[in-house]
């Protein structure tokens, strides 16, 4: 078992020895004690034993793929998962985030890019430990006149409880990832505003919208994927959205008319 680093433990699940070493060095320099695994099962066992803060996960593994690893890990751990993929197709990203990954990086990557993605993830509250006031902050400038900060937000048959961090659609529970929940919260809390992808990226980071932190193109792309996953779970028709509308060239907003 690895000794605990200044920032906790990290697990690297990667079958390529060179990339595995690069990630081990990168995470070690970031202050983590790093344990590596070369297969999916070995990685799942390491996460179960060590309960790491961060897990990096390759999609292509010799026994079973990273999607299955993420699903198995999510059954018992809320470790932050950074998925690494050599394939940039949207379906791979969707599958990874839907399986429980928090973010993704496309190979080849630069170590500083991995560090940046990890720092962004660490700014997000863990769902299991989120305090009632740790949901998406809405600055005064963005506060709509009719949003009194109530715990429960709604739009038609959609209900979201910010304090309990639960969502229901038509009275049925809706399972969302942390990022999907935070994006939906931001949209519901600002029903008449268009939120840019950069603003929603900061909502996912749990930073206020006007911190001045610049969202990267990867952040914006990640928001697009999270919104696509969210729409799928809401049963959205892309041509006639009932909940989340795209404002071309700008971002997203809550649908102007609530579904009946």
Q: What is the pLDDT of residues 108-167, one digit of tens each?
A: 888 988 998 888 888 765 543 333 333 333 333 333 334 445 689 999 899 999 888 899
Helix (H, G, I), strand (E, B) or coil at 214: coil
Architecture of the domain whose range is 131-254: Orthogonal Bundle (1.10)
Cα–chain-centroid distance for residue 30?
20
Residues forming CATH 3.40.50.2300 domain(s) in the chain:
9-122
Mean pLDDT of the chain: 80
pLDDT more than 90, % of the chain: 35
Residues forming CATH 1.10.10.10 domain(s) in the chain:
131-254
pLDDT at 61 over 50: yes
CATH topology of domain 9-122: Rossmann fold (3.40.50)
> In this structure, are residues 196 and 224 in contact, taking their beta carbons and an 8 Å threshold?
no
Residue in 249, 254, 206, 205 with CA at minimum distance from that of residue 227:
254
Rounded to the nearest 5 degrees, what angle is found at the Cα of 168, between the Cα atoms of 177 and 81? 5
| CA dist., res. 85 & res. 97, Å (int) | 12
Q: What are the residues facing 159 on neighbouring strands?
A: 154, 168
Helix-helix angle 217-234:178-189, to 10 degrees? 80
What residue has token string 């034993």? Answer: 49
pLDDT at 126: 55
Helix (H, G, I), strand (E, B) or coil at 150: coil
Tokens of 97: 């985030």
Flag the least confident range among 4-8, 52-56, 241-245: 4-8
Q: Is residue 260 very low, low, confident or very high in pLDDT (cuts 50, 70, 90)?
A: low
What residue has token string 């429960």? Answer: 152
Q: What are 198-210's pLDDT values in tens digits? A: 888 877 765 544 4
């Amino acid at each position: 078992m690895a000794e605990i680093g200044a920032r906790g433990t990290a697990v690297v699940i990667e079958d390529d020895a060179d990339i595995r070493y690069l990630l081990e060095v990168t995470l070690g320099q970031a202050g983590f004690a790093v344990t590596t695994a070369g297969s999916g099962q070995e990685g799942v066992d390491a996460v179960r034993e060590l309960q790491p803060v961060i897990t990096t996960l390759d999609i292509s593994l010799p026994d079973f793929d990273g999607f299955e690893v993420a699903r198995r890990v999510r059954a018992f751990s809320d470790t932050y998962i950074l998925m690494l993929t050599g394939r940039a197709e949207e379906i791979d990203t969707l599958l990874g985030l839907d399986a429980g990954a928090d973010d993704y990086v496309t190979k080849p990557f630069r170590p500083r890019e991995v560090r940046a993605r990890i720092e962004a993830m660490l700014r997000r509250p863990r769902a299991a430990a989120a305090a009632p006031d740790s949901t998406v902050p809405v600055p005064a400038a963005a506060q709509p006149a009719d949003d009194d900060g109530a715990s429960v937000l709604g739009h038609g048959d959609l209900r979201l409880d910010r304090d309990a961090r639960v969502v229901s659609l038509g009275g049925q529970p809706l399972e969302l990832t942390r990022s999907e929940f935070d994006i939906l919260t931001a949209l519901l809390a600002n029903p008449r505003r268009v939120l840019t992808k950069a603003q929603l990226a900061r909502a996912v980071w749990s930073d206020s919208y006007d911190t001045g932190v610049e969202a990267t193109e990867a952040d914006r792309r990640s928001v697009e994927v999270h919104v696509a996953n969210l729409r799928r779970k809401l049963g959205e028709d892309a041509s006639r959205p009932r909940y989340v509308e795209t404002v071309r060239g700008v971002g997203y907003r809550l649908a102007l008319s609530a579904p009946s």
